Amino acid sequence: MKHPDHHQLFTRFLELRGLCLGLSEGLSSLASDLQKGELRQLEATEARVASLRQQYEILKKDVIAFAAPYQAVPDSETITSLGTLEPLLTAVNQSLKAAAMTILDQLPHIKHREQTAFKPLLTCLSSASELHRAIAEVSLPDLHPEVEAIAAGTHPLAVFISLVRDHQHMKEERIAEIQDVITCAFGNLLFIAALMGKLVFEEQGG
């Protein structure tokens, strides 16, 4: 089963908060009925409260599981409301954004050993620069849709960095896996140049 991503979790959070507000308005009507000794809304209200509680517990569990790989998670017993759940989810998104930006910041340091204007690399770096700018412009708690893939190392740019840095130590199976990812995104020439060691980080190329 695929784990929910940050967007799904925030959507569920907002939906649940809206349901809570809706229920609070309904409780005013219920209180008015109870004052008159009328119980006609009681059963339906109990069902809504139970449903909200169940949704909250599931959301809480999913947010904690989502946050755990990125930061220390407080004791679940201290997370008792949507108000205490939201900062945790926001902090995770902040960590994801920072991780993605750190990865993209490596790209401008990649150079071709022999060609100062290797077009496939320049095109790749231009794309990375545009993506870096786009990610920076999205304000938290929202995230650019490509942030998670970059932070997880599955985005073509992250895969490209790993090939440049580690091509000498990669097994053939891994190279075969990432070939299509890089060639589909940036072309075969860039993949070949990285695989042959023609592309290096400035501090390595000297």
CA distance 160 to 155: 9
Task: Compute, in degrees rounded to 10, the torsion defined by CA atoms 196, 199, 204, 206.
Answer: 110
Number of domains in the chain: 2
Distant-in-sequence contacts of 193-197, Cβ < 8 A, 24+ apart: 193/112, 193/118, 193/120, 193/121, 194/160, 194/163, 194/164, 194/167, 195/163, 195/167, 197/113, 197/167, 197/168
Same domain, 87 and 118: no
Higher-confidence residue of 32 and 206: namely 32
Q: Flag whether 56 is in a domain.
A: yes
Would you state the pLDDT for residue 77?
A: 79
CA distance 146 to 35: 54
Last residue of a domain, one of 32, 64, 92: 92
**Average pLDDT along the chain:** 85
Angstrom CA distances, 83 to 60, 75, 87, 200, stand at: 11, 15, 7, 47
Q: Write the pLDDT tens digit of every residue in 160-183.
A: 999 999 998 899 999 999 999 999
Same domain, 165 and 129: yes
Same domain, 133 and 72: no
Q: Flag whether 77 is in a domain.
A: yes
User: What is the extent of the structural domain holding 143?
Assistant: 105-205
Q: Is the pLDDT of residue 30 over 70?
A: no
Q: pLDDT band for position 22 (50/70/90)? A: confident
Would you state the pLDDT for residue 154?
A: 93
Same domain, 121 and 163: yes
pTM greater than the 0.75 cutoff: no
Same domain, 57 and 119: no
Same domain, 13 and 42: yes
Same domain, 109 and 146: yes
Same domain, 58 and 129: no
Q: Is the pLDDT of residue 205 over 50?
A: no
Same domain, 10 and 84: yes
State mean pLDDT over 48-61.
87
Would you state the pLDDT for residue 1?
A: 38
CA distance 56 to 143: 23
Helix axes 119-137, 188-195, angle to 10 degrees: 100
Same domain, 62 and 134: no
Q: Write the pLDDT tens digit of every residue in 119-128.
A: 999 999 999 9
Same domain, 82 and 129: no
Q: Taking the CA of residue 68 as centre, how many other CA atoms within 13 Å lie in the half-sphere pointing to its CB?
A: 10
Would you state the pLDDT for residue 4?
A: 56
Q: Flag whether 1 is in a domain.
A: no
Q: pLDDT band for position 91 (50/70/90)? A: confident
CA distance 13 to 127: 33
Residues 115, 189 contacting (CB under 8 angstroms) = no
Task: Say which range, 61-70, 89-98, 101-110, has the weakest mean pLDDT.
Answer: 61-70
Q: Is the pLDDT of residue 189 over 80?
A: yes
Q: pLDDT band for position 13 (50/70/90)? A: confident
